[in-house]
Amino acid sequence: MESEEYNKAQLAPNSIVAGRMVVIDYGKCNGCNQCCEVCRSDVLLPNPERGKPPLLLYPDECWLGGCCVAHCPIPGAIRIEFPLNQRIGWKHKETGEHFRIGLKT
C-alpha cells in the first residue's frame, strides 16, 4: 500500500534551468520599463510603483532572446545568465584548452 505522502502533489524547481536567467541590478535600474515593453514572453512586468524596477515573473519562461538587454538605456541594469546547458563551448586547436561563454577558463 502506498503512503499518503507519496500521492501528494509537490512543487520542485526546474532541474534543467537555473531559474534565474534574467538578472536585474536594482541599484542601476531607473524603472523606465522599456524592457517590459519588448519582452516577448512577458516575463517582465512593470512595477505598480512608478520609477521602481520591473517585476520578474516566471523566470523559467524566458526565451533568452535578449530584447530586454538590448533595449535597456542603462548598461548593466539588466542581463541574461544563460543556463549551463545552453552556453556555447569551443576548444582551442593549438593548446587544447576548453572555453565556454560565461565561464572563466
Coil vs helix vs strand at 34: helix
- This prediction has a pTM of 0.64
Residue with cell 534574467: 22
From CA 85, how far away is CA 82, in angstroms rounded? Answer: 8
Residue in 87, 85, 81, 79 with CA at minimum distance from that of residue 105: 87
Say if CB 73 and CB 32 are below 8 A apart: yes
More confident residue, 27 or 19: 27
Give the pLDDT of residue 98: 78
Residue in 12, 11, 13, 21 with CA at minimum distance from that of residue 84: 21
- Predicted confidence (pLDDT) per residue in 26-84, tens digit: 999 999 999 999 999 888 999 989 999 999 887 878 888 899 999 999 999 999 888 76
User: Which domains are assigned to the chain?
Assistant: 22-100 (3.30.70.20)
Say if CB 13 and CB 45 are below 8 A apart: no
**pLDDT reading at 16 higher than 70:** no
Coil vs helix vs strand at 86: helix
